[in-house]
Amino acid sequence: MKIKPIDIKTILYTTDLSDTALYAFSYAASFASAYNAKLIILHVMEDYLAIKPSLKALLQEDQWRAIKEEHVRETRETLSGKRRDNVIVREALSQFSENARAGQYGTSVASDEVIVLFGDPVDKIIETAKEKNCDLVVMGSHGHGLLHDIVGTTTRKVMKQSKIPVIAIPLDK
């Protein structure tokens, strides 16, 4: 068997803003530096529609209705500009990217793009990796996403569905 040379040009680093994801960034940055690759930072804000069947089974009808009404209100506020969650997250990740570029976390590393999306994290990670022609996905293996214990881990699902290599970084103890 002949060993195929690996050429990594674009790395997708996904973050749920947990400690594990922050620790995983050091790996993504190291790979980007070693391969002189483009580094894309992605954060997906979970949408309740993606987990609705799992949630509805756990709640009474009036509880579920109240949660849906709250989500509709929050969505209206976001779309009307009254709520700035995604803007704040994007700004924080952009600042994190600038700090990394300046070497504030050790080695200087440049991230080329910061993306914040709404939706199902697994779907958005797979879609973004494909759209951006990524060669590698780097993510933490024990995040703290919305109800991760109920619906399963995002990392495991991404590893199962991805057509490109996924590196799952456990939290450094």
**Band (140; pLDDT cuts 50, 70, 90):** confident
**Higher-pLDDT residue of 63, 116:** 116
Are the C-beta atoms of residues 118 and 44 closer than 8 Å to each other? yes
In the predicted structure, residue 86 carries a pLDDT above the cut 80: no
What are the boundaries of each domain within the chain?
A: 10-52+84-118+129-169
Question: Residue 10: what residue type?
Answer: T
pLDDT score at 147 = 44
What average pLDDT does this structure show over 125-148? 82
What average pLDDT does this structure show over 154-168? 93
**Band (152; pLDDT cuts 50, 70, 90):** very low
Tell me how far the alpha carbon of residue 173 is from its chain's centroid. 22
Are the C-beta atoms of residues 45 and 118 closer than 8 Å to each other? yes
d(CA 92, CA 85): 11
The CATH number assigned to the domain with range 10-52+84-118+129-169 reads: 3.40.50.620
